[in-house]
Amino acid sequence: MLTAAASVGAHIIGWADDWEVSGATDPMTRPSLGPWLRDERGPYDGLVAAAVDRLGRNVVDCLNTGYKMRDEKKMLVTYGHDGAWDLDDPADENRFTMEAWGAQMELRAIQRRNRDATVKTRAAGRPKGKPSYGFRYVRTVMGGKIDHVELHPHASQVIREVARRILADPDDVTPSSEAARLNRAGELSPADHLAVMYGKPAGGRPWSPQSLKNILLSEATLGYLMHRNKPVLSREDGNPVKLCEGLWDRATHEALKTAVSNRKATWIRRSNREYLLTNVALCGQCHTRLYTQTSNDVPPRYTCTARNKGWLQSQHCRPAPLIYAHLLDAYVEEWFLRELGDGLIYETVYDPGNGIAERIAETRANRERLRADREAGLYDARTTPPGSGTGTPRWDANWPRWKPNPRGHPVWSGGLRARRSPTGGFAHRTYKPARRSCSTSVCG
C-alpha cells in the first residue's frame, strides 16, 4: 500500500486496520474504516487499499465506496492499478466493477464451500460448532476432526446437580435461584466454561436464568446432534442421531420440562432471615402476621405492627403482643414435636425405573415430532425418495399406522410395535414412612 500511495505522490495519514472483520462486513460499519467513510476522522484526500475487494463485501459496497470517493473528489488507489482510479473514465469504471464482481464471486464461493461442509458434516451425523454445555469434543489429533463426544466431567456434574435440585423442589428451586446459586459459588458460566476449555481467559460473565433454562430444556442434554434447536434425524432409520450418552434420560427431560415450564409464580414473599416463625406466627388479637424486630441491645422479638400501620382491622390491637423470638420458637418447637413428631413424612423421589417408561417416552416424543412434521406438510407423498433433503426419514418403512385388530384394540403396525407396559409413568413415587425400614413403590 505504501508503494501504491507513493506512486501517486501521496503519503499515509492514518491506517484503518480491520484484519479481524474480513471483507464480509459493510465498510461503513467497520470499526476502523467506518469512521473515515462517515467523515468522523477529519479531512483526507483519498483512500488506498491493497485490492478492490478490501473496499466492500459485494459489488454494491465496493461501488458505493468507489463512487463516494469520486463524488467527493477524493483519490482512490489500489495496489496493481497504475495511478488513482478515475471512475469517470468508462474503461477504468468497467475494470473497477469487474474486480469488485470478482471479489464478490470469490466470497460467495467461500461461503458456499463452508455451508456445504457444514451440511455434509451434519448429514454424516458428526458434530460441528461448539459443544453443548455438559459435553466436550474429543479429537485424536490436535485441531483435527472430532473423534467423538463425551460428557465433560465437571460441567456435566454441575448441570445434573441443577436438574436434581429443581426436580426435588420445583416450587422453590427455579432456574433463577439456581443461576444465582451458581454465581455465588463462582461456577464458570457456559460461555466462560467454553472459553476456558479452549484455552482462552474467562470473561467473568454470569449465569443467566434464561440460558440455564435453555440448557435444561434442550434435547441436546439427551446426547443428540442438534441443528437449530432440533435433533438431527439419521438418514438410515429416521431416529435422532445420538452422539453420546445423555446427561439424563428422556423421562427426566420430560419431568424437567413440566417442572420448569409449568411453574406458576408464587406470590408469597419469602424472608431470607433464619427466623423460625416468619409467615407462621399470627397475632392473637387481630390475626395479622407477626414481624420480627431487631436491635443491638435486645434479642430479636416477634411483634404485631398492624395497628401502628393504621390498619382498620387492627385498631383495637392494644397492647400489641411482643415476645422474645427464642421463647416463642422454643414453645412452638416443643408443641410441634409433641403433636406431630410421630407423623409420617412424605417425600417425592425420582427413580429412573426399569427403562420401559424411558422407551415409551422416547417413542412418544418421536411420534409427536413426526406428527408435527407431517402437519407442517413436510411429508405429503406416500414415499419419499431416500436421501432427499437433510435428515429426511424413510417415510414408508417407519411410519407406524393404527389398525384395529380382531379383538378391537388398536395395535401398532408398520415399523414399530408398542405394547402396553405395566409401568406407565415417568417417575415412581416412593412413600417412605419415617423411622421404618420398609418402603413400598407405587406407580406415579
Q: Which residues of this chain interact with Zn ion, rule CB under 5 A?
A: 283, 285-286, 304, 317
In the complex, what is the shortest distance from the CB of residue 282 to Zn ion, in angstroms, rounded to a whole number?
Answer: 8
Contact 77, 85 (CB under 8 A): yes
* CA 419 from centre of chain: 35
Distance separating alpha carbons of residues 152 and 135, to the nearest angstrom: 5
**267 backbone φψ class: left, alpha, beta (φ>0; ψ -120 to 50):** alpha
Q: Which is nearer to Zn ion, 94 or 313 (CB)?
A: 313
Name 24's Cβ contacts closer than 8 Å, sequence gap at least 6. Answer: 57, 107
Distance separating alpha carbons of residues 175 and 218, to the nearest angstrom: 14
In the complex, what is the shortest distance from the CB of residue 285 to Zn ion, in angstroms, rounded to a whole number?
Answer: 5
Residue 382 Cα distances to 385, 388, 390, angstroms:
10, 14, 18
Pairing of strands 322-324, 301-303: antiparallel
Q: Which is nearer to Zn ion, 52 or 317 (CB)?
A: 317
Q: Which is nearer to Zn ion, 226 or 317 (CB)?
A: 317
Q: Using alpha carbons only, how large is the chain's radius of gyration in Å?
A: 34
In the complex, what is the shortest distance from the CB of residue 332 to Zn ion, in angstroms, rounded to a whole number?
Answer: 18
In the complex, what is the shortest distance from the CB of residue 281 to Zn ion, in angstroms, rounded to a whole number?
Answer: 11
Write out the three cell numbers for 252: 427426566
Q: Which is nearer to Zn ion, 162 or 317 (CB)?
A: 317
Exposed/middle/buried for 400, CB within 10 Å: 0-12, 13-18, 19+? middle
Q: Which is nearer to Zn ion, 52 or 283 (CB)?
A: 283
In the complex, what is the shortest distance from the CB of residue 187 to Zn ion, in angstroms, rounded to a whole number?
Answer: 45
In the complex, what is the shortest distance from the CB of residue 289 to Zn ion, in angstroms, rounded to a whole number?
Answer: 9
Q: What is the dihedral of CA 141, 145, 151, 155, to 10 degrees?
A: 80
Distance separating alpha carbons of residues 367 and 43, to the nearest angstrom: 66
In the complex, what is the shortest distance from the CB of residue 275 to Zn ion, in angstroms, rounded to a whole number?
Answer: 18
Q: Which is nearer to Zn ion, 94 or 315 (CB)?
A: 315
In the complex, what is the shortest distance from the CB of residue 329 to Zn ion, in angstroms, rounded to a whole number?
Answer: 19
At 45 the three-state DSSP class reads coil
Q: Which is nearer to Zn ion, 303 or 366 (CB)?
A: 303
* 175-184 and 153-168 helices, crossing angle to 10°: 140
Look at the block and give the residue holding cell 421404618. 436
In the complex, what is the shortest distance from the CB of residue 303 to Zn ion, in angstroms, rounded to a whole number?
Answer: 9
